[in-house]
Structure 1
Amino acid sequence: MSQQEYVEHSKLSEAKQMRKRADEDARLLSNRIALLKQEEQKAMKKIEETRRKAQEIIDARNRNLEEQRKREEIRKQRENEENERMEENRKNRERLKKIKDQSNMYRINKAYVDVQSIKTTKEKNLKTIEEMKNFDLSQKIMTKNSIKQQQREAEERRKRILDEKREKARQENEKKIEEENRLRREREEEVARMEQEELELIQRLQNTQLLQKSAYEDLENALAGSIGFPQ
């Protein structure tokens, strides 16, 4: 295998490896997204059950309270809930801002790493091309000095045929590399979309957890309020 054929084979192998890594990233991210969706469904189910129990207790309590005390309790409860919602909204805004800042920092760092990687790859390619040029020049000089005059025409014909085969093989290899890179880019785009979906699911799950906490607090308040009153 010539130096050029070896380099082209290495490029194809590298393209396939990059595409496989992109496929694996997409598979792992898909699993994480599925788990987040399951957790969100479980949390919503718990919230519904908790709220149902809280409402049953509150209804039983309200039937046994005098009308004046019931109105006062409802007013206080609404006031407390409004204060809690305002506080939770403030905390949610802070959490969302922190998540957004972290996401922006990740994108900046990734862009810098990508630029450095492209620069390093370009330098390596230029060095390889220069080495290949020097190697080809040396081979041509040695071949010219060693071949006899009467064999020159036959050798040139053989070389043309060989070059045509190599050129065809190179073109086919380049097509394969382009296809691998295309598949890798598509998978990387899919991973980027799935990363965004994962981030949104995390934020939704955090909000759901806050709702769940509020529902538990409602249940605790309802239980506390039912003690000491006739059933």
Structure 2
Amino acid sequence: MSQNDFIEHSKLAEAKQMRKRAEEDARLLANRIALLKQEEQKAIKKIEETQKKAQEILQVRNRNLEEQKKREDLRKQREQEDYEKSEQARRIREEKKSLKNQASQYRSTKAIYDAQTIKIARAENMKILEELKKEDLASKKQIKIQVKSQKREAEEKRKKMVDAKKKKVRKDNEKRIEIENKLRRDREDEVARMEQDELELIQRLQNTQLLQKSAYEDLENALGGQLGFS
């Protein structure tokens, strides 16, 4: 076995070993994520139970408040109706005055706008003609470049055909190494994604625990409020 063959064989073995380590990291991380999800579901269930109890107490309190609010809303509605009638009469007067002013302003600005529109249209037409000339010149230049490029490509293709047989063995081995490296990178990417999922689950669990604490506090407040209505 030549020195080059030995080096290529070592690279392939190393790539396989790195891929196996990445797969093991992914398996361990998946187990940790599953445990975090279980803890999150338990905390969410406790929050839902606590919120349900607090809601039942608050509903009794809210019904009493709603009756008081309806009486207050009725009084405010009557006041609002009187105010709206007065405002409607004022707006009608102002709208009539505004329409008269707008009609006068429209007549004065329309003539200016028409003149500016004609000037802009002429300038746009000149710009389009200039762009067409530039595109024609660029097209001719591009054709010349393509002809030269085709000649260079034909010469390069001939050289590549001569070198292809010499590089085949090396390419095959590099391809095997690349496959192993790709498997390793895929596993590493998966591990990175799973690590991010783990961090997000930890944060979500912390937030859920804060919500659970808040729900207990709401229940205590609701119980205190219920005693006040007795």
Measured against the shorter chain, the TM-score band is: 0.3 to 0.5
- TM-score, scaled relative to structure 2: 0.47
- TM-score, scaled relative to structure 1: 0.46
In terms of Rg, which structure is larger? 2
